[in-house]
Amino acid sequence: MVIGVPSESSPHEKRVALVPGVVPLLIKAGVKVLVERGAGETAGFPDAAYEEQGANLAADRGRLLSMAEVLVQVHGLDPDAKRTDRKLPGRDQTLIGLLNPLGAPEAVRELAAKGATSFALELLPRISRAQSMDALTSMASISGYKGVLMAAGLLGKMFPMMITAAGTITPSRVFVIGAGVAGLQAIATAHRLGAVIQAYDVRPAVKEQVESLGAKFVELELESKGAEAASGYAADMGEDFYRRQRELLTRVVAESDVVITTAAIPGKKAPVLITSEAVEGMRRGGVIIDLAAETGGNCQLTQPGRTVDVRGVTVIGPLNLSSTVPYHASQMYARNVTAFLLNLVKEGELQLNLEDQIIRDTLLTHKGDVANPAMRQSLGLPELTASSSEEKRPNA
């Protein structure tokens, strides 16, 4: 079986789905790896490095598509990608990647209509066996790290306290909203830089994690029962809750030099937690990095992909932030994808064991239909009938 690695066509994407270091693991599993020429260049992985590890090179995209049975990408169904790339997987091919199914439901419908099999890594179940495959966690960690560095570069102050001959420099105050993976990494990074940190999350259970990283946990007088969904992510708490939450957060925002927001709800618009009034209450020179910008943003004034100046406060809504660290982001993503493939490939062949929760939950399209129940509901499709518990994909 041939696993193909095409170059990414999404705008500003610098990552690559597989790096040279994982190629020997896949070859040992009985598959061949075919890489489109130049696919890893922007991430810092030259063609020669792939060849040295045993991969073959495809001269162009057409050659890759004609030979590969499985295609691995970073963004496979990105609605902002070139329209021609949306036709990338064929009927007898399998696509694996961050497909953003809940954000691009019509692209999922197109993919199903073509008869391609696809797996969306966003749909991985939150179980221990899937941790090594969790690309969302890997990329969120990078975003949290890079978000703090962006803020430190823009802030007109230094993060740490410094005692100098010219006097003592007081530390900057950083407020992190959302203590998921990105938020916790933001806290850890800001702490290493010497800032005084406060953090808030709707889930009281994360207080211990926040404090273990050196931040003070902000407790608001809000009823937070049911704040954590069964998936482990934050649940949608309703507009009345968010309105009261915005009122209580305004005070903390006003006393902060930097605010980093990370609150997101899978498949839904990000909740607005910082009002325009709260931004105007910050001191001039303050910085807000809205890491939820890709789903609308946590700040009312965020403009995704743009930098906005609000009375001297800088509000940034970065997109695809992990791609700005393409070398290590590609390494982490490639390890996640490789772990997923090694669970899926048995004796050199792709096997769809639907009794495996990882395979069953991530299977997005198969045999001309949308296979994932949540996506079927989103598209207004009827529930699927019972299917075979195990299928084996034959050799092409």
Q: Are residues 194 and 274 in the same domain?
A: yes
Separation between Cα atoms, residue 123 and residue 101, nearest integer Å: 9
Separation between Cα atoms, residue 341 and residue 393, nearest integer Å: 14
Residue with tokens 């772990």: 339
Q: Are residues 369 and 339 in the same domain?
A: yes
Return the SS3 of 374. Answer: helix
Q: Are residues 87 and 164 in the same domain?
A: no
Q: Are residues 94 and 188 in the same domain?
A: no
Give 333-379 pLDDT, tens digit per residue: 999 999 999 999 998 899 999 999 999 999 999 989 999 988 888 88
Q: Are residues 167 and 303 in the same domain?
A: yes
Output 114 or 217, whichever has higher pLDDT.
Answer: 217
Q: pLDDT class for 83, splitting at 50, 70, 90?
A: very low
Q: Are residues 309 and 201 in the same domain?
A: yes
Write down the pLDDT at residue 85.
Answer: 54
* CATH code where residue 187 lies: 3.40.50.720
Q: Are residues 253 and 339 in the same domain?
A: no
Q: What's the mean pLDDT in 214-222?
A: 88
Give the chain's domain count.
2
Lowest mean pLDDT among 20-34, 122-136, 221-235: 221-235
User: Considering 283, 300, 324, which residue would you say is the last residue of a domain?
Assistant: 324
| Contacts by 83-86, CB closer than 8 A, 24 or more apart | 85/9, 86/110
7's tokens: 């170059």
Distance, C-alpha 322 to centroid of its chain: 8
How many beta carbons lie within 10 A of that of residue 386, not counting itself? 5
- What's the angle, vertex CA 59, arms to CA 21 and CA 24, rounded to 5? 20
58's tokens: 């495809």
278, pLDDT greater than 80: yes
- What's the angle, vertex CA 8, arms to CA 82 and CA 151, rounded to 5? 100
Q: Are residues 317 and 350 in the same domain?
A: no
Q: Are residues 239 and 366 in the same domain?
A: no
Separation between Cα atoms, residue 111 and residue 109, nearest integer Å: 5
E strand or H helix that includes residue 375: helix 373-378
User: Considering 324, 355, 384, which residue would you say is the last residue of a domain?
Assistant: 324
Q: What is the average pLDDT score of the chain?
A: 89
Domain containing residue 377: 2-133+325-392
User: Considering 267, 301, 324, which residue would you say is the last residue of a domain?
Assistant: 324
Q: pLDDT class for 26, splitting at 50, 70, 90?
A: very high
Write down the pLDDT at residue 12.
Answer: 83
Separation between Cα atoms, residue 53 and residue 25, nearest integer Å: 10
Q: What's the mean pLDDT in 101-129?
A: 90
Determine the straight-line distance between the first and last CA of the chain, rounded to whole angstroms. Answer: 8
233, pLDDT greater than 90: no
Q: 239: burial class by Cβ within 10 Å (0-12, 13-18, 19+)?
A: exposed
Q: Are residues 315 and 332 in the same domain?
A: no
Please give the backbone phi and psi of residue 188, each rounded to the nearest 5 degrees, phi first: -60, -40
Q: Are residues 50 and 167 in the same domain?
A: no
Give 190-209 pLDDT, tens digit per residue: 999 999 999 999 888 899 99
Q: Are residues 102 and 200 in the same domain?
A: no
